Amino acid sequence: MKYIIRDNQAGFVLKNGVFQKMITAGTYHFSKMAGYTVAVQEMLGEMDYLEVPYQVLAKDAAFLNATVHTEIPDGFAGFIYMNGKLTSFATRKEYVFWNVFDKYEVRTVPMTETVIGAEMTKQMLSLVPARLYTEVSVGEGEVGLVYYDNVMQKPLHKGVYRFWNYCHTVSCCVLDMRQKELDIAGQEILTKDKIGIRMNVACMYKIRDAVEFVSTISDLKGQLYPAVQLVIREIVGNYRLDEILEAKEQISGEIYEALKRKEEMFCVNFLTAGIKDIILPGEIREIMNSVLVAEKAAQANVIARREEVASTRSLLNTAKLMDENQTLYRLKELEYLEKICEKVGEISVNGSMGIVEQLGKMMGQGSAEKLRKI
């Protein structure tokens, strides 16, 4: 039988199923009657002719010259390069590539060192299955805690870290060490005088030590929130409503001091704490508004009475001065006469007396003399 092998092909000659040799480009004749068969394959990419074991094929010199064989040891990751360019991640332990038209290479990286070294580029990591490694990203103000088989390692600071999951099962926990705000909103409290109020309280805190924190606290907000609630109830419940409204800053200071005493319990540092709002029931609010209006009205009344007394005292002093000094009295008369004349549109004079004599007659002779001088 005639076989034509092209330039990009190779033929595997078998006799009665036993590999004989590999043939390249050319024309060949083999007798089927003699038990010969030829399997033809293109010499591109990975060789997938698996009917004959590699160890048998490797005995043929032509096959060895045309292929490259790679085995990836245990504990290593393999990366396949074609013509010097990274193409894929090796998912098997053994590869055979045609090395005629394209040049293939498999580079290995050890996974026995848990920390992934600088030889692993971002491009290489993008091809590695996620199950084979763990990436930990620690941001500004954060601390990363890494565990090998549940055993804590050295804390990590700002940066990106990657670990192989080959020798150890790697897990991580990233804690935000920056200050945070805890709001206790709408907290219902019964005051000492049995009045129900609602209160909004805010506090600032930050985690003190990351290692101590994870070994002590499982759910910070779930435990911290009720603890702050109890502190607020305990302190505010000892005050009457009037005292709460008057001593808001003092009570805020007491809440802060009480929280500072609980820092060891929660592995945090409290930075601030204080009352934001006090919300009164509707009927209490109406009563207090009425009291406020009454107080302001009383204050206004007192001020009005004080001004009346001052005005009366001033009038009395003026009257005494005018009684003691007739000239001052006459000048005051002239002052009021001037004010009256400013409001008069016209003046009618009757009889033979002039206007000055008539005004003087109304006010007295002394005034007439002063009017003539004016």
What is the model's pLDDT at position 230?
92
Instruction: Specify whether 186 is located in the same domain as 162.
Output: no
Residue 308 pLDDT > 60: yes
Instruction: Specify whether 10 is located in the same domain as 83.
Output: yes
What is the model's pLDDT at position 144?
94
Instruction: Specify whether 106 is located in the same domain as 21.
Output: yes
First-residue to last-residue Cα distance in the chain = 156
Alpha-carbon distance 373 to 51, whole Å?
147
What SS3 state is found at 152? strand
| Mean of all residue pLDDT scores within the chain | 85
Alpha-carbon distance 252 to 235, whole Å?
9
Alpha-carbon distance 223 to 64, whole Å?
69
Instruction: Specify whether 312 is located in the same domain as 248.
Output: no
| Type of residue found at 148 | Y
* Range 168-181 average pLDDT: 92
pTM to 2 decimal places:
0.66
Evaluate whether residue 257 is within a structural domain.
yes
Predicted confidence band of residue 370 (pLDDT cuts 50, 70, 90): very low
Evaluate whether residue 115 is within a structural domain.
no
Whole-number Cα distances in Å, 118 to 81, 89, 180, 278, 318 = 19, 18, 35, 58, 101
What SS3 state is found at 342? helix
* Range 2-14 average pLDDT: 90
What is the model's pLDDT at position 123?
93
| 73: DSSP letter | P
Question: pLDDT per residue over 258-283, tens digit each?
Answer: 999 999 999 999 999 999 888 887 66
Alpha-carbon distance 163 to 135, whole Å?
6
The total domain count for the chain is 5
Residue 256 pLDDT > 80: yes
Residue ending a domain, among 110, 136, 159, is 110
What SS3 state is found at 220? helix
Residues 133 and 164 sit within 8 Å (Cβ to Cβ): yes
* Range 117-124 average pLDDT: 90
Predicted confidence band of residue 327 (pLDDT cuts 50, 70, 90): confident
Predicted confidence band of residue 307 (pLDDT cuts 50, 70, 90): confident
Question: pLDDT per residue over 26-83, tens digit each?
Answer: 999 988 888 999 989 899 988 876 678 888 999 999 999 999 999 999 999 999 999 9
Instruction: Specify whether 160 is located in the same domain as 190.
Output: no
What is the model's pLDDT at position 294?
75
Instruction: Specify whether 196 is located in the same domain as 238.
Output: yes
Residue 307, beta-bridge partner list: none
Task: Output 209 or 292, whichever has higher pLDDT.
Answer: 209
**Residues near 153 by Cβ (< 8 Å), separated by ≥ 6?**
145, 146, 147
What is the model's pLDDT at position 149?
93
Question: pLDDT per residue over 184-200, tens digit each?
Answer: 888 888 888 888 888 89
Residue with structure tokens 């763990």? 134
Instruction: Specify whether 6 is located in the same domain as 97.
Output: yes
Instruction: Specify whether 330 is located in the same domain as 363.
Output: yes
Residue 299, beta-bridge partner list: none
Whole-number Cα distances in Å, 97 to 38, 63, 70 = 20, 11, 9
What is the model's pLDDT at position 336?
64
What is the model's pLDDT at position 49?
66
Predicted confidence band of residue 374 (pLDDT cuts 50, 70, 90): very low
Instruction: Specify whether 139 is located in the same domain as 184.
Output: no
Pairing of strands 196-207, 180-190: antiparallel
Residue 246 pLDDT > 50: yes
Instruction: Specify whether 205 is located in the same domain as 162.
Output: no
Instruction: Specify whether 74 is located in the same domain as 31.
Output: yes
What percent of the chain has a predicted confidence (pLDDT) above 90? 48
Residue ending a domain, among 137, 152, 176, is 176
Predicted confidence band of residue 176 (pLDDT cuts 50, 70, 90): very high
Residue 120 pLDDT > 70: yes
Structural domain containing residue 83: 2-110
Evaluate whether residue 117 is within a structural domain.
no
Evaluate whether residue 166 is within a structural domain.
yes
* Range 190-219 average pLDDT: 89
Which value, to the nearest 10 degrees, does the dihedral of the CA atoms of residues 117, 118, 119, 125 take? Answer: 80
Residue ending a domain, among 110, 134, 149, is 110
Instruction: Specify whether 19 is located in the same domain as 79.
Output: yes
Evaluate whether residue 319 is within a structural domain.
yes
The pair of structure tokens assigned to 349 is: 């004079």
